[in-house]
Structure 1
Amino acid sequence: MQGKEGRTMERFAKLGITSIGLALLLALAARHISLSAEGVAPTDFGLLHASSPDRAGYTLSSEGVWEATFASGAKHTSPSASEEWQPYPIYGGEMTSIAMGSVITEGTLHIETVYVGTRDAGVFKSSDGGQSWEPARTGLTFYPIRTLVTDPQNPHVLYAGTDYDGIWKSTDGGDTWFESGSGLDRGLIVFDIEIDPQDTDTLYAGLAGGVALAIGNIYNSEDGGATWTIKDAGLPRSSETSSYTNGILTLALDPDDPARLYAGTVFDGAFVTTDGGEAWTPISEGLPYLSYPDWFREVSSLAIDPHHGNRVAAIAGGKYHVWDDINGWEKVSDDTLSSESHLYFHPADPAILYCPNRLHGFSKSADGGVNWEHFRAGIFDVAFHTLFPDTLYGVHRGDFNEIGGVYKSDDQGETWSEAYPGVMAQAVQSVVVDPQDSDRMYAGTGNGHFFRTQDGGITWERGLYESYKPLYNFGAVKDLAVDPLDSHKIYLVGSSGLFTSTNYGAVLEKIEALTSPNCMAVSIKNSSTQVYVGGGLDHGVYRSVDGGSTWDQITETLPVFGSSTCPVLSIAVDPDNPDTVWVGMQYGGGIARSTDGGDHWQVMGLTETNFIEAIAINPANSAEILAGGGFWEGSIYKSTDGGGTWEKISGIAFVQDLVYDPRDPRWVYAATEGYGVLRSFDGGENWHDYSSGIFYPLLYSLAITEEDPPLLVVGSYGSGLYWSHLSAPTYVFLPLVVR
C-alpha cells in the first residue's frame, strides 16, 4: 500500500494494531474532538467502534440519516442547501457484492432491479437493468458491504453484511436502512447470509475475522434479523479457550430441507447441520489439504446442486468438488479456480455452472464442472434472476488497469459490457483545478486511475500512460499540478514515479530520473515554472527550474532519520517569494524552510510531530502558515511569525490538505482523515463541520476554482469527487458612534 492511506496503516502498526481493513482502522482512530469556546467540530464519526452499537456521538434522524452530536450535546448544523456537497459523475470504484431484486417482464423483455455493494460508498440500486444507478444507502454507515441478499419472498427486503459493522436491513428496496438487530459480533466480517426460503424470518450468517480470518462464528436469527444467537455446537474452536470457532467463509442452505445447512471454514473444511445449527458434524473427508503437513483445509464457496438431489458442491483448494453421503468429497475437476470464489448452478441446465473467482474472473463450466473456461478477468461475483439465468450481472473490484464497476452479460457470461453509470465509488486521492480555466480539472485515485474533464465536470475521461498502452500504470496518484504558465502541461505524482503531460493530461510520460515521489508544488520564478517534488526516505527534494526539463536532487541540510533524509510528505511555496519553500516531513523531521529555492534548509519546529501531511500559506500574509499533522492525535499547527513559533490546535483529526479561500484568508478549509471537510472562519483557530452530502469522509485533497462564485472541490477516498458552491464571506459593520 502506497501513499497517505499507507501512512494511515503505518500509524496503527507502530502502535501494535494489525491491518484489518481501512474502515475498521478509521473506527479505531475515531478521536473525540475537543472544542474551543466558539467552535464546533464533529465527535466520533458514524462508523464508530465495533464495540459501540449505540453509535455514541451519532443519532439516527427520523429521515434515516446519521447526525453527528458534539461534545457540548448540540446537534451538528448542516450547511445551507446551496453549500450541500454534490458528486461529480466519475463512475465506478471498488465493488464488493451484488444481489438481484424484482424483475418486470414485458413480453419477451425482462428488466431487473439490481443492488450493488461497494467498499466505502454504501449500496447503489438500478431499476432498469444496469442502465442507470442511484445511491440506496440512507441510514447506512460506510463500512464495506461484504455481502448482499434479498428476501426470496419479498424482493424489497434486503440484508447487507458488512466488514466490522454487523448486518443491516432494508424493507423498502434499499431506500432506507437500519441495523438488523443485537447479538452479532461487530468485530468480524459477515461473509455470507442465508435465508430460509420457506420461512424468511429465519436467517443464518457466517462470520470470520482476525489474523488470516482464523476466528469466526455462525449466527441464527428467527425474527428477521432483530436478534441473533450463536449456533456453534460441534464447530472447532480457534483455540482451546476461545469463544470463537474457526472463520466461516461460506454457507449453503438446502431449500427443500432448510434445517440442513452447510458451512465452509478457513482451516477445518466443511460441516453440516440437520437441525438448524443446533449441532454440527464435520464432512471433510476427501477435501485437499493446502499446506504441509496436513495443516488446513479451506472451503471458499458452497452451493446446493438442484439437479442432483440437492447435494452440496464446493470450491476447496481451488478445485471443484461434490459431496456424496457414502464416499465423501469427490474432486470433479483438475482445473484450478481460486481459493476466493463463488459458485452457482444454472437453474434450468444441469451442465452449466458459474464460478466467479479472484484468479480468473468469471469462469464457466458447460459439462457439469469437469472443464472450466475463463471469460472475463476481474469479475469476482455475479447475480442473476432464477427466471432469466442467462442474463448475469457481475461486479469488478478494480485494479491498476481496470476501473471497478458493474458489468452485464446476456449470453451466460461469455461477453460482458459496462453497466455502472451512476455508481460513484472511486477512491479519489488527489485533485487539481487549472488556474487559467476552471472547466479543466484533474483527479487521481488511490488505485492508479487518472481522470480529466474539460467541461467543468460534466464529462470525464481517463488519461493514458503512453509507454504502457493500454495499461494505466501510475500506481496510487498521490498529487497533481497544472503548470502555471502552460495549461497544456500536467504533472502527476504516482507511487510508481513522476509523470508529465503536454496535452491536458490525455497522454502522460514518465520521468525516469525521479524515484519515490510523495508530493509536489509548482510556482513561477523569472518567467519560468519551477517544480518541487518531495521524495521518500533518503530521497529528499527534487527541483526543476525549467518546467520539468531538467532536475536536481537536494538532500543536504534536510533533517534525517537515522542516516537517511526524512521522507517529505508535503510542500508549499510562498506565494510572495518563490525562493521560500516549506516542506513537511515524516519521522520527526518536523517542518523545514528554505529561503534560497531549496539549496539550504532550516528546521522550523514541529519535530515532535511524526507526520506533517499538509502545509498552507496565507495568500495575503505569508508570515501566517498552517500545518496539519500528528501521530495518534491529529492537530493543526499555526504560525503567525513565519514559523518562528507555533500554536497547536488540538483535536482536529488528521488533516490531509488545507486551502485558504482567496477572497478572504480568514476562511480556511481542511480535508481530514475520517471527519470530512472542516471550515474555519478565523484563520484556523476554530473549526466547524462542512461535510453535508459527502458519504465517505476520508479526504485527502482539496482545490478551489477561480470562477465567481468559486467551487470547493474535494476527493473522497471511497465515494468519489464532490463540489460545493462557496458562499461569499459576510461581514457585520457596526455603526460609528462619534462623541
Structure 2
Amino acid sequence: MRRALPAIGTAGVLALAVSALTFQGPAFSGQAALSAGSQTSASLQLPGEEEDGGPAEPADYLTQKFTSGKKVTDAQIKQAVQQAKALKPGSGAWDLVGPSNIGGRVTDLAVDPAHSDTLYVAASGGGVWKSTDAGSTFETAWPDDYTQTVGALAMGPDGTLWAGTGEANPSGGGLTYFGDGVYRSTDGGKHWQQWGLTGSAAVGRIAVDPTNPQTVFVAAAGNLSGSASERGIYRLTNHGKDWQLVLPTPNATTGGVDLAIDPTNPKRIFASLWDHQRNSGARLYGGVGSGLYRSDDGGDTWKRLENVTGTHVSDTSGTGLTSDASLGRIGVAIAPNDPNRVYVISGNTYGPDKGFYVSNDGGDSFVPGGRAGGSSGFEWWFGRLWVDPKDENHLFNADVNLRESKDGGATWATSSGPHSDQHIVQWDPNVPNRVYLGDDGGVYRSDANGATRSWIHATYEPFNQSYHLAVAMDDPSRLASGLQDNGSNRTWTAAAGPSDLTQWNSYGGGDGHFVVIDPSDHNIYYECSQVGNCTRHEDTNGTTRNIRFGTRHSARITTDAPVVLDPSDPSIVYFGGNVLDRSTDRGTTWTQISPPGDYLTGPVPPEQDDQGSYGGLYSTITTVGVAKTDGNTIYVGTDTGRLWKTTDLGANWTEFTGKGLPVRWVNSIVVDPANADHVFVAYSGYREGDYAANVWETTNGGASWKNISGKLPNAPVEMLAYDQPNDQLYAATDFGVFYDKNGKKNWKRVGDGLPNTPVLDIKITGDGKTLYAATFGRSVWKIALPQQ
C-alpha cells in the first residue's frame, strides 16, 4: 500500500477520571466527578519492533485551543508506509460489488480538448476516472495503491494531467481526508508520477498556464486538524519538482483554496487564501487569514484585493473582502471572452454567503452583485464560480442547487436536474453548448448549455462514499449502505430480491448513515440520515411501509448517531444521543435507560462547542455494544472518549475511562457473542490530528484492558468485526482492512486488491464465508473468509 500519512498533531483530549467510576441507583441522581489525567495510544513503529504501541503525547483538552499540531517528520511518514506494505496479506482477492449506478462526490473535472468525448474526473475518495463516451461511463485512471483522495485536477495545453491529493472541502458532520502531494501523468492517466508538495495535506486548485505548460500553480490548503508544512500558493516553472512558495499564508491555519489565470495574459493570476480549522466538535471555517489576491507578474508579487464599493446584502458584518474574522472561503473566476470581468463569491465563518461581487476592471474594484447563493448555510462546502467561455454574462455558482445567472450576476435562478452540492463545471471546447458538472451525486452532462432539466447522469461511476453497511444474515446478497449525500440504498426492492448487485436503489434520503437489517426477518430494516433521523421499513406483499422512529430523549445527537439491535432479540433497538434510549417495539416508542444530561458523555468543552449550524452534535454516544449472552449488559462509547458498561439494563453504570485507555473518539465496540466479558474497542483521534491506531481488548468485563494494536499501521480504526468461531478480529482502517488471529497482535492485511481508501465499515455474512467492506470513495467490496 502506498499512502503517506498526513502531518500528525498532538491531540487535544478531555481528561476524565483515571479510575473507573460507578453510578449507583436507578434514579440517575448525581454526576460523575471529573479529574485531569493522561492517556496513551499506539505510536508509529516499524515492523519487527515491539508489538505494543508506545505512548502518544497527551494534551489537556480543557485548555487546548485551535492550534496546529506537531509536524510529522519525513522519516515517520516513510515508517508508516513501510509498516503498511510490510504486513503480509491473507489469501484471496477483493472483488467490487457496487453500487455503480449512483455516484459519489466529484471534486474536480478536466475536459480533454484534443480527444472528443473525453474527460477526467477527480473523486473525493475514489481517485481519478476517465470517460471516452461524453461522461456516460468511467474507467479508473489512477493506481489502486495510491491514496484515493483527490481534491484537484487540471490538464495543461500539452495534455499533461495534474492531480492534487487531499480534499480541501472541509467536513461538516462527516469526514474528508488528506493526501500526499501532487502527481502528474503524461499518457492520459495510464501512469502517474509523484511530483512534490508532499506536505500540502490537501489541494484546493491546480491551474496551468494556457500558453506555457511548464508553469503550474497549486493552491495548497493544508490540514484542518493538524499541521501541514506546505500551505499557500506554489509555482512550478521548469517541470522540475522545485515548487516555489509565491504567496505564503499569514498563519498556520490558512491555506490556498482557489486560482484563476487570465487566458489572454497569463501573468495575471488571482488566488484566494482561506483560514479554516476544526477539532472533534467545533468548526471555524473563516478567519483573518482569508483573502483575495492578484499577481500581475506571473506570481512574483501579489496584491490583496479588497476595494469593494458598497455592501452586499448578505454581508452582515459589512467588512467585504477585508481581513476579518467573519471572512470564509472565497471563489474567483475570470470571464474567458472578457478578462476584465472578474467574479468573486465569499462565505462567512459559519457557513452562509457573505457576498457576491463583480469587477469590470480586472479586479481593481468590485461592486456587489445579486444573491448568488441559495440558503444552504454552508458556503465552505462550495466556493466556486464558472463563466461561460463565450458569454461573460452567463455564469454558474456552486451551492446545494446549481445556481445560474444570465445577466452578469444581477439575478439568479436554479438549474434543476442534477444532484445536490455542486463542485465543478467545465465546458467542452469541442462541442457547442456542452457542459459537464461534478457534484456529490457524481457526473452530469448538459448539451443545452446547462439549461434547467437538461442534465444527463452518468450510468457507471463506482465511486460511492459509504458510512455504514448492513448484510442480511440469511442472504449475503441482500445489502444496504448509508452513503454520503446519497441517502440509504439497498440491493433489493419491496417486490423483488437482489439480482444485479451493481444496481442499487434508494430507500432513504439525506446523508445516509446507520443501516440495519433485522437478523430474524430481512423484510424489516432500518435507515438513518444525519443527526439520527431514522425510519423502520417493512416489506409486505410487494410494498414497503415506512415507520419513523418515535420521540427520543437526547438533547444532543451526533451526525452519525448509532442504531443497534439487541443480538438476542431484534425487536429491541438502542439509540444513542447524549443519553441511551431503548425500544422494545422496533423504534415506535422509547425509554431512556441512562442517567439524564451529560452523565455518560460529559459536558461540551468550550473549545469543542460549535457556534455555527453544527452546534449540538458533539458530546454524544457514538457506539453501542449489546451482549448476546446477557441482554442486560451493554457497553457504550462516546465522542468525548468515555467508555461505560451497565450489567443491569442501565440501573448502574461503570466507567472505564482511565484504566490506560486513550481518551479519543470511540468508533466501535464489539462484544464477543459467546462471552459478555470479552470486548474489543476501537478509537480514533482523526479530528484532532492524531492518527495512532488504537484497538483495545478486555477479557474480564473491563477490569483490565490491553492494547492489541500491535503492528497495525497507524491510521484511525473505523470499525471492528469479530469472527468468534475462528477467533479472528477484523479492523477497518483508513489504510484498509486487517485481521488478527487468536489475539496475538500479529496483524495481517486482508487479501489483495482493495483500493487504498478509508474503509468505514465491515460486516461478516451470517454463514461466515464472506467479508464485506464499505469504502469511503470506492463503493462496496467483498472477499472470501476465513483469512489464514
Partner of 2:143: 138
Partner of 1:700: 760
* Contact residue 101 and residue 114 of structure 1 kept, 8 A: yes
Counterparts of residues 3-152 of structure 1 (less than 5 Å): 12=11, 14=13, 31-33=43-45, 56-57=77-78, 68-70=81-83, 75-80=86-91, 82-90=92-100, 91-102=102-113, 104=115, 111-138=116-143, 141-142=146-147, 144-152=149-157
Q: Alpha carbons of 1:607 and 1:711: their partners in 2 closer, same or farther (altered >3 Å)?
A: same
Partner of 1:417: 455
Partner of 1:666: 727
1:296 partnered with 2:322: yes
Q: Alpha carbons of 1:669 and 1:521: their partners in 2 closer, same or farther (altered >3 Å)?
A: same
1:205 partnered with 2:196: no
**Secondary structure in structure 1 of the residue aligned to 2:118:** strand
Shift of 1:406: 1.0
Once the two structures are overlaid, the 10-residue window that deviates more, 554-563 or 250-259, is 554-563
Among 539, 543, 562, which residue is 1:503 paired with? 539
* Contact residue 763 and residue 773 of structure 2 kept, 8 A: yes
Can you list the C-alpha shifts for 1:447-471, whole angstroms capped at 9, x where unaligned?
A: 4611111326614434435xxxxxx
Q: Alpha carbons of 1:720 and 1:288: their partners in 2 closer, same or farther (altered >3 Å)?
A: farther
Once the two structures are overlaid, the 10-residue window that deviates more, 442-451 or 647-656, is 647-656
Partner of 2:697: 638
**Secondary structure in structure 1 of the residue aligned to 2:477:** coil
Shift of 1:221: 1.3
Amino acid in the other structure paired with 1:626: F
TM-score by length of 2: 0.71
**Secondary structure in structure 1 of the residue aligned to 2:99:** coil
Amino acid in the other structure paired with 1:712: L
Partner of 2:637: 585
Amino acid in the other structure paired with 2:87: H
Shift of 1:114: 1.4
Gaps of 5+ in 1: 1-8, 17-28, 60-67, 105-110, 398-403, 466-471, 730-739
Shift of 1:604: 7.8
Once the two structures are overlaid, the 10-residue window that deviates more, 288-297 or 559-568, is 559-568
Shift of 1:489: 0.9
Greater relative contact order (Cα < 8 A, sep 6+):
2
* Contact residue 142 and residue 189 of structure 2 kept, 8 A: yes
Distance 1:51 1:226 in 2: 21
Partner of 2:593: 554
Amino acid in the other structure paired with 1:224: H
Distance 1:144 1:321 in 2: 33
Shift of 1:496: 2.5
1:682 partnered with 2:704: no
Amino acid in the other structure paired with 2:582: Y
Gaps of 5+ in 2: 1-7, 16-40, 57-68, 169-177, 275-288, 347-354, 493-497, 605-618
Amino acid in the other structure paired with 2:522: S
Shift of 1:409: 0.5
1:477 partnered with 2:513: yes
Distance 2:144 2:502 in 1: 30
Partner of 1:733: none
Can you list the C-alpha shifts for 1:223-275, whole angstroms capped at 9, x where unaligned?
A: 2352211334xxxx765xx6x99865443333343334344556786554443
* Contact residue 485 and residue 529 of structure 1 kept, 8 A: yes
**Secondary structure in structure 2 of the residue aligned to 1:481:** strand
Shift of 1:332: 8.4
Amino acid in the other structure paired with 1:698: P
Distance 1:646 1:333 in 2: 60
* Contact residue 394 and residue 406 of structure 1 kept, 8 A: yes
* Contact residue 146 and residue 160 of structure 1 kept, 8 A: yes
* Contact residue 321 and residue 333 of structure 1 kept, 8 A: yes
Counterparts of residues 209-220 of structure 1 (less than 5 Å): 217-220=232-235
Distance 2:465 2:735 in 1: 16
* Contact residue 601 and residue 621 of structure 2 kept, 8 A: no
Q: Alpha carbons of 1:51 and 1:99: their partners in 2 closer, same or farther (altered >3 Å)?
A: farther
TM-score by length of 1: 0.75
Distance 1:148 1:55 in 2: 28
Distance 1:251 1:295 in 2: 16
Identity of aligned residues (%): 21
Distance 2:747 2:653 in 1: 30
Q: Alpha carbons of 1:690 and 1:312: their partners in 2 closer, same or farther (altered >3 Å)?
A: same
Q: Alpha carbons of 1:117 and 1:15: their partners in 2 closer, same or farther (altered >3 Å)?
A: farther
Partner of 1:718: 777
Among 278, 282, 304, which residue is 2:300 paired with? 278
**Secondary structure in structure 1 of the residue aligned to 2:631:** coil
Q: Alpha carbons of 1:115 and 1:508: their partners in 2 closer, same or farther (altered >3 Å)?
A: farther
Distance 2:428 2:90 in 1: 42
Distance 2:95 2:294 in 1: 50
Amino acid in the other structure paired with 1:93: G
Distance 1:556 1:217 in 2: 48
Distance 1:670 1:562 in 2: 25
* Contact residue 147 and residue 165 of structure 2 kept, 8 A: no
Q: Alpha carbons of 1:251 and 1:692: their partners in 2 closer, same or farther (altered >3 Å)?
A: same
Counterparts of residues 504-653 of structure 1 (less than 5 Å): 508-516=546-554, 518-523=561-566, 529-537=570-578, 539-544=579-584, 546-548=585-587, 550-555=589-594, 560-561=599-600, 568-575=621-628, 577-586=629-638, 589-594=642-647, 598=649, 600-601=651-652, 603=654, 605=656, 607-608=658-659, 609=661, 610=663, 612-619=666-673, 624-629=678-683, 633-641=692-700, 645-651=704-710, 652=712
**Secondary structure in structure 2 of the residue aligned to 1:57:** helix
Shift of 1:149: 0.9
* Contact residue 303 and residue 314 of structure 1 kept, 8 A: yes
**Secondary structure in structure 1 of the residue aligned to 2:539:** coil
* Contact residue 88 and residue 457 of structure 1 kept, 8 A: no
* Contact residue 559 and residue 603 of structure 1 kept, 8 A: no
Partner of 2:343: 314
Distance 1:562 1:375 in 2: 44
Partner of 1:438: 476
* Contact residue 497 and residue 514 of structure 1 kept, 8 A: no
Distance 1:519 1:161 in 2: 31
Distance 2:270 2:145 in 1: 30
Can you list the C-alpha shifts for 1:395-446, whole angstroms capped at 9, x where unaligned?
A: 113xxxxxx2111111000134343344333331221211122221111135
Once the two structures are overlaid, the 10-residue window that deviates more, 406-415 or 447-456, is 447-456
Partner of 1:190: 203
Can you list the C-alpha shifts for 1:672-712, whole angstroms capped at 9, x where unaligned?
A: 3x2321211214643222264333543332211235x7210
Shift of 1:124: 1.7
Distance 2:501 2:82 in 1: 35
Shift of 1:591: 4.1
**Secondary structure in structure 2 of the residue aligned to 1:174:** coil
Distance 1:301 1:613 in 2: 35
Q: Alpha carbons of 1:388 and 1:51: their partners in 2 closer, same or farther (altered >3 Å)?
A: farther
Distance 1:536 1:148 in 2: 39
Can you list the C-alpha shifts for 1:142-195, whole angstroms capped at 9, x where unaligned?
A: 3743321101232x53343644643221222123322223xx483465333332
Distance 1:659 1:159 in 2: 35
Larger Rg: 1
Shift of 1:207: 4.0
